[in-house]
């Protein structure tokens, strides 16, 4: 694995910066301008994540959210996870072991696709860890099953991060400096040379918004080159690199135990341990990621277009941490255990081709899209785990310890297993106008997935030397949209998805998969989308019911066996609206209620097999709500405020421990100093509330305390 972008980025930035001023856009005299950002929804915006037909969110028979660059800035989002609060019903957390954790419509982990420029690396809960938002152009989300668009792993929905690349919008010079809880320096430069466009996006950040005694350094560089090869043919080469290193990552805060040494009922943590980090002082998480994409667009005819994406992904991730902390001795000491030295070496290659055609069928508009999707995913893991316990320490001033002084830990990287995942898929999509005001949208995908797992360690009955299996899922969507007026649509849809029975295909082996087929997920959804007040406002509402069948569960008649007969369901309602009633005021609101439950699920507790039927999956809230308001106080001064509530979540599948939920308040102000200069002040968690972003049966991962950020943007 090699990462070669660092010197290239520096050279490209220097070259672009050195372009003569006459080649850049010139600015006019300073003036005051309105700067309050817009807020989702945008019903007339296209969303490529939800359809390949180029249709808008209004025309799509599904819940679609688009968070564009103006929204990202208005929300003060510094990373990709903070952007997720604009998506109705999504809850998320940022713990090191699953830093891309998100929950949508009652599902998470392997049942939620988190894409990067429409591409999944099939290890989303880990690979989708938060990335600084400077390189992000927009985020798109579709609720519910969407495997027919993006492959297996999307029962709960799909979230797609789309990054900036060279475009035809003209020359650009933009700089950002940030101070406060995090320090940031960033630049975006774009220049046109005849039929070619070069772009560079660079960002560096230090500091952490978690303030738990850990340190974070990251940088990202994106370089892209767009060439007009012919009037109807263009090619874009995009190279992006991401680097992140977290020193002494915060893994969680231990939960207080009752007189029986158990965590039951409402979970509690000692407020004096807020901000205390029990990890080894030299603990770390480090990630190097390289993306290379070749994008070809060919307008074959006015009604026919072809695109092809060739891509490569490399990732090297390293963990060196002591990860578990438990109250002992009647809540007077904390015991440390579970040391893990872990390395992930992952490479993905892929090719995706699409052909779209606008036509008529029986005199009515009928648009088609066809294509293929091929990928090869290889990942080797190098785990060294020592259970411990290692020591007991003062809960308020933990003794400093080092990772390689931990008994049983050595600096050795011995491969555990290598997963090779081959995927070949064919897909098709169509939208046909049936009659005036009626349109039918359909989609179908046929996958052939081949998995080979090579065990590099001791061969056992549940861990053979080589395990091979294959899957052939067929997934799709059928949706009907009825236009009651140009501003008001109603729709109904049925969609399906396929997921692994447990685990993630990029890491799972025989013990998780055995000879089981993929799970089968299906969704019914009814919804409506509406523009009102002369299009100054928009609203959408959706009701859904999702069932996922054939999860791996413990055999209730033999606890040594796992069988694929489990079932999980989710139903709920989502509402989102935005409104700009006057030039100086605008606001938005989101509300989502989710009834997620295990319909059929058994797990082993000690030597007993226990049914969890009727229980709620862990970390899945019933309610997620949010509201934002913006006020243009003066022509050059805008104020913003936002509120977010996440409801009660259970810590385990037994539902014997829970966290009551939390509310957060955010405040912001924006001042357009000159036409070119903008200052933003952002305060997150303004009340400095201590809350659990993720709750477990032994630890909670506390969310960030009050953070303050001052950002200066210069744009020419």
249 with 211: CB under 8 angstroms? no
Is 557 or 679 the better-scoring residue by pLDDT? 679
- Which of 139-153, 224-238, 419-433 is least confident? 139-153
Block residue for tokens 């974070």: 216
pLDDT for the residue numbered 39: 66
Asked whether the predicted pLDDT for residue 211 surpasses 70, the reply is no
The distance of Cα 671 from the centroid of its chain, to the nearest Å, equals 30
Is 12 or 78 the better-scoring residue by pLDDT? 78
Mean pLDDT of 187-204: 95
Mean pLDDT of 238-264: 93
Question: In this predicted model, what pLDDT tens digit does every residue of 587-603 receive, in sequence order?
Answer: 999 999 999 999 998 88
Tokens describing residue 1? 């694995």
- Which of 45-49, 69-73, 176-180, 270-274 is least confident? 45-49
pLDDT for the residue numbered 212: 59
Q: How confident is the model at residue 628 (pLDDT cuts 50, 70, 90)?
A: very high
Which residues does residue 540 pair with via DSSP β-bridges, in sequence order? Answer: 529, 576
Q: How confident is the model at residue 630 (pLDDT cuts 50, 70, 90)?
A: very high
| pTM: predicted TM-score of the whole model, two decimal places | 0.91
Q: How confident is the model at residue 564 (pLDDT cuts 50, 70, 90)?
A: confident
pLDDT for the residue numbered 214: 60
Give the separation between CA 354 and CA 368, rounded to whole angstroms: 10
Domain limits, the chain: 5-19+172-715
Asked whether the predicted pLDDT for residue 247 surpasses 70, the reply is yes
pLDDT for the residue numbered 112: 87
Nearest to 491 by CA among 60, 146, 144: 60
Name the average pLDDT for the chain: 89
The distance of Cα 654 from the centroid of its chain, to the nearest Å, equals 27
Percent of the chain scoring above 90 in pLDDT: 73
pLDDT for the residue numbered 591: 96
211-220, 353-362, 558-567: range with highest mean pLDDT: 353-362
Asked whether the predicted pLDDT for residue 28 surpasses 70, the reply is no
- DSSP states along 425-472: EEEEEEEEEEETTEEEEEEEEEEEEEEEEEE-S--BTTB-SEEEEEE-
pLDDT for the residue numbered 384: 94
Give the separation between CA 311 and CA 313, rounded to whole angstroms: 7
- CATH classification number, 5-19+172-715, choose in 3.30.70.270, 2.40.170.20, 2.60.40.10, 3.40.50.970: 2.40.170.20
402 with 281: CB under 8 angstroms? yes
Q: How confident is the model at residue 1 (pLDDT cuts 50, 70, 90)?
A: low
Contacts for 270 with CB less than 8 Å, ≥ 6 apart: 256, 331, 395
Nearest to 692 by CA among 93, 8, 146: 93
Mean pLDDT of 667-672: 95
Cis status of the peptide bond prior to 41, with omega within 30 of 0? yes
Q: How confident is the model at residue 700 (pLDDT cuts 50, 70, 90)?
A: very high
Question: In this predicted model, what pLDDT tens digit does every residue of 372-418 receive, in sequence order?
Answer: 999 999 999 999 999 989 999 999 999 999 999 999 999 889 999 99
pLDDT for the residue numbered 713: 96
Contacts for 582 with CB less than 8 Å, ≥ 6 apart: none
pLDDT for the residue numbered 38: 52
């Amino acid at each position: 694995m090699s990462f070669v972008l660092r010197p290239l980025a520096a050279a490209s930035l220097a070259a672009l910066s050195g372009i003569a001023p006459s080649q850049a856009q010139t600015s006019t005299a300073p003036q005051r301008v309105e700067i309050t950002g817009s807020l989702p929804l945008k019903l007339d915006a296209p969303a490529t994540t939800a359809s390949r037909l180029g249709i808008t969110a209004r025309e799509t028979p599904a819940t679609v959210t688009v968070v564009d660059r103006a929204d990202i800035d208005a929300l003060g989002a510094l990373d990709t996870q903070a952007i997720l609060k604009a998506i109705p019903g999504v809850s998320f957390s940022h713990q090191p072991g699953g830093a891309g954790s998100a929950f949508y419509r009652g599902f998470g982990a392997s049942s939620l696709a988190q894409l990067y420029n429409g591409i999944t690396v099939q290890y989303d809960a880990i690979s989708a860890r938060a990335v600084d938002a400077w390189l992000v152009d927009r985020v798109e989300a579709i609720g519910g099953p969407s495997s027919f668009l993006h492959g297996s792993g999307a029962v709960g929905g799909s979230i797609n991060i789309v990054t900036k690349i060279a475009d035809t919008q003209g020359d650009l010079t933009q700089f950002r400096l940030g101070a406060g809880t995090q320090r940031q320096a960033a630049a975006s430069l774009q220049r046109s040379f005849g039929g070619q466009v070069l772009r560079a996006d660079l960002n560096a950040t230090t500091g952490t918004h978690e303030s738990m005694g850990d340190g974070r350094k990251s940088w990202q560089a994106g370089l892209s080159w767009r060439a007009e090869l012919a009037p109807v043919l263009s090619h874009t080469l995009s190279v992006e690199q991401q680097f992140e290193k977290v020193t002494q990552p915060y893994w969680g805060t231990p939960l207080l135990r009752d007189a029986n040494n158990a965590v039951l009922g409402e979970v509690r943590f000692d407020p004096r341990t807020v901000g205390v980090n029990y990890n080894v002082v030299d603990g770390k998480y480090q990630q190097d990621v390289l993306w290379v994409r070749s994008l070809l667009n060919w307008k074959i005819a006015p009604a026919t277009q072809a695109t092809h994406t060739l891509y490569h992904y490399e990732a090297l991730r390293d963990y060196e941490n002591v990860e578990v902390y438990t109250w002992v001795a009647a809540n007077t000491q904390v015991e440390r255990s579970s040391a893990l030295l872990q390395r992930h070496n992952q490479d993905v290659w892929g090719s995706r081709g699409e052909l779209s055609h606008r036509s008529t069928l029986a005199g009515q508009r009928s648009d088609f899209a066809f294509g293929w999707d091929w990928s090869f995913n290889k990942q080797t893991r190098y785990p060294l785990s020592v259970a411990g316990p290692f020591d007991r320490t003062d809960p308020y001033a933990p003794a400093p310890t080092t990772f390689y002084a931990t008994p049983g830990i050595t600096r050795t990287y011995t491969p555990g297993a290598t997963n090779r995942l081959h995927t070949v898929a064919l897909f098709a999509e169509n939208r046909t106008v049936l009659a005036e005001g009626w349109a039918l949208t359909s989609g179908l995908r046929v996958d052939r997935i081949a998995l080979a797992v090579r065990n590099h360690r001791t061969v056992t009955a549940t861990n053979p030397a080589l395990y091979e299996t294959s899957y052939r899922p067929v997934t799709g969507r059928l949706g009907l949209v009825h236009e009651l007026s140009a501003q008001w649509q109603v729709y109904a849809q049925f969609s399906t998805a396929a997921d692994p029975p447990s685990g993630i295909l990029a890491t799972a082996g025989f013990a998780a998969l055995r000879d089981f087929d993929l799970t089968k997920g299906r969704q019914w959804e009814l919804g409506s989308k509406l523009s009102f007040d002369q299009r100054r406002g928009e609203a959408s509402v959706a009701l859904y019911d999702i069932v996922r069948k054939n999860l791996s569960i413990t055999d209730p008649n033999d606890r040594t066996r796992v069988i694929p007969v489990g079932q999980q369901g989710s139903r709920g309602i989502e509402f989102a609206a935005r409104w700009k009633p006057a030039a100086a005021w605008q606001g938005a609101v989101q509300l989502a209620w989710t009834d997620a439950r295990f319909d059929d699920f058994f797990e082993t507790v000690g030597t007993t097999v226990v049914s969890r039927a009727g229980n709620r999956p862990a970390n899945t809230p019933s309610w997620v709500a949010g509201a934002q308001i913006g006020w243009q106080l003066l022509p050059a001064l805008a104020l913003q405020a936002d509120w977010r509530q996440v409801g009660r979540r259970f810590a385990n599948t037994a539902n014997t421990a829970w966290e009551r939920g939390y509310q957060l308040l955010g405040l912001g102000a924006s001042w357009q100093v000159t036409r070119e200069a903008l200052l933003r002040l952002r305060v997150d968690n303004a009340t400095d509330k201590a809350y659990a972003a993720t709750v477990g049966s032994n630890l909670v991962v506390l969310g960030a305390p009050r953070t303050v950020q001052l950002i200066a943007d210069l744009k020419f």
